[in-house]
Chains A and B, each alone.
Chain A
Amino acid sequence: MASLRIIRNRIRSVRNTQKITKAMKMLAAAKLRRAQDAVIRARPYAQLIEEMLASLAEARARDELPPHPLMAVRPPHRVEVVMLTSDRGLAGGFNSNIIRRGQRFMTEESGRLERIQFSTVGRRGRDFAKKRGFGLRKDYLGFFGRLSYAQAREVANDLIEAYQKDELDAVYLLYNYFRSTIAQEIMLVRLLPLEPKPRKQEEQATKGGLIMPEHIFEPSRPAVLQSLLPRFLAMQIWRALLESEASEHAARMTAMDSATKNAAEMIGRLTLQYNRARQAAITKELMEIVSGAEALK
C-alpha cells in the first residue's frame, strides 16, 4: 500500500499542475476574445476586396481584361504548401492536426508532383519540416501574439516573387479555420494561381456589382486589377493568420479546460485513496493496541 506521505505529495503536485492549467485556460480565453474581435474587424476590408475582384472577374469573362501573371495556370509540377502552426505548444490537437494533414498531402501528391516544398509560420511547423527533412523555403517566426497586416503582406510578397520567377506552379495554404470554440477545421485552399470567381448568374442579374459599367478607372482597368490581385492574396493570408490565431487560443483553452478537469478527477481519486490508507492505518494501530492489551491480561 502506498504510504500516506507519498500520496499526500502526489496530491500536492497534481494540485499545483491544476493551478497552472487553470491559469493557462483563463489566459487563452482572454486572448481568444481578442483574436475573435480581430477576425470580425477584418471582415469589411475583405468583403470589399472580394466584391471588387468578383466584379472585375465578370468583366474579365467578357475579355475586357488582359491575363495577369498571378492568374497564369501552369501544369502543377512544383507545389508549395504554406502551413500555419503556432509558436507554442500545449494547444491540444492544434498543431498535430495541421502537421498530419501536411504529411498526408505529401504522401498523396508526391507521386504526381515533381517537388513539394513547405513554408511555415510558427515554430511548430518549422521544427516538423526540419525534422522530416521536407523542403522548407521560408519559415516565419514570432508572428502570433502580435499579428499585423504587414506580416501577411510579407508572406504574400515572397510568394508572388517566387511565383513570378517561375519557381512554383501552385501554392496551397494549410491552416486551422475557427468554426467555434470547440471546433476548428483544417482548411487546405489554393492561393496561386489566383482564380477570381465571378458572382452567381442570378446575383449578377439582380444586384449590380460593386463596379458598374459606368465606373471610370484611374488610371485604367488593367492597372486596377494589377494592384488588386496582390492585395487579394495578402488579404487571404491575413484572414488565415487571424483564423489560425483564434483557433490556437480556442484549442489551448479547450485542452487546458480538460486538463483542469482531469486534475480535479485525479485529486478526488487520490484523496479517496489517501483517506482509505489513513483509515487502514488507524484500524491497524487500534488492533495492535487492543491485541497488546489482551496479551497483558
Chain B
Amino acid sequence: MPLALEIVTPEERVVTVTCDEVRLTSVEGQFGIRPGHTPLVAVLAAGELVYIAGGTTHRYAAGEGFAEVSNDRVRVLVEEANRAEELDPHRAAQELQDRQKALASLKPGDPAYEQERANVERAAARLLVARRGR
C-alpha cells in the first residue's frame, strides 16, 4: 500500500499507517489523496477524515489543522482526531447542542465568538462522524 499516512495531534501521534487513499476536509471542501498526488499544503477545517487501507474504511472526526502531501507521504496535523468507533452519537449530539447554545448567547462581534464557533464546528464534526461510523 503506497501512501504513508501519519496523523498527529498535540496530545499524541494517533496513527502511522500505509493506505491506499485519504480523504480530508479542507477549508474549501472535501478532497481526496491517492498515490502520485502533487505536493500540497492544505488548511483543514473541522470535519471528517477517512483513510482506506486494504479495502477497509477508517473514519475519524478531526479538528482544524493542516495536511502536507509530498512523495506519497501524507502528514496530517490536527487539533484532535477521534475514531468514529469511539464516539457516542448521543453524547456528540448533546455536546453540539450545548455548544450551539453557548454560541447563541454571544454576538458575532464578541471576541469569544470565534472561539465558540470553532467549538461548534468541532462538535458538529464529531456528531457527523459518530453517525456515519455506525
A binds B: yes
A contact residues vs B (CB 8 Å cutoff): 38, 41-42, 44-46, 48-49, 52, 148-149, 152-154, 157, 161, 165, 210-212, 214-219, 223-224, 227-228, 231, 234-235, 238
Asked if B77 is at the interface of the complex by the 8 Å CB criterion, the answer is: yes
- CB contacts (< 8 Å) of A210 on chain B: these are 68
CB atoms of B77 and A49 under 8 A apart = yes
> Complex formed: what's the CA distance from A274 to B27 in Å?
77
Is A235 in contact with B10, judged by CB distance below 8 angstroms? Answer: yes
Q: Are A216 and B41 in contact (CB under 8 A)?
A: yes
**Chain A residue with Cβ nearest B119:** A150
Dominant SS among interface residues on chain A: helix
- For the complex, give the distance between the alpha carbons of A161 and B114 in Å: 10
Also in contact, A41 and B75, with CB within 8 A (given A52-B68, A218-B40): no
The total of interchain contacts (Cβ-Cβ below 8 angstroms) comes to 83
Pick the most buried of B8, B31, B38, B65: most chain A CB atoms within 10 A of its CB. Answer: B8
Taking beta carbons and an 8 Å cutoff, which residues of B are in contact with A? 6, 8-13, 26-28, 31, 38-43, 64-66, 68, 70, 75, 77, 79-80, 111, 114-115
**Residues A219 and B8 in contact, CB atoms below 8 Å apart:** no
- List 6 extra interface pairs beyond A215-B41, A216-B40, CB under 8 A: A45-B8, A45-B10, A45-B13, A215-B40, A218-B40, A219-B43
On chain B, the residues within 8 Å of A227 by CB distance are 43, 64, 66
Q: Are A238 and B38 in contact (CB under 8 A)?
A: no
Q: List 5 A-B contacts (CB under 8 A).
A: A42-B10, A153-B79, A215-B40, A227-B64, A228-B66
Report the nearest B residue to A212, measured CB to CB: B39
A223 engages B75 (CB within 8 Å): no
Q: Are A224 and B79 in contact (CB under 8 A)?
A: no
Whether A218 lies near B43 (C-beta < 8 A) is yes
| Among all A-B residue pairs, the 4 with the closest Cβ atoms | A218-B42, A149-B10, A41-B12, A215-B39
Give min CB distance, A39 to chain B, whole Å. 11
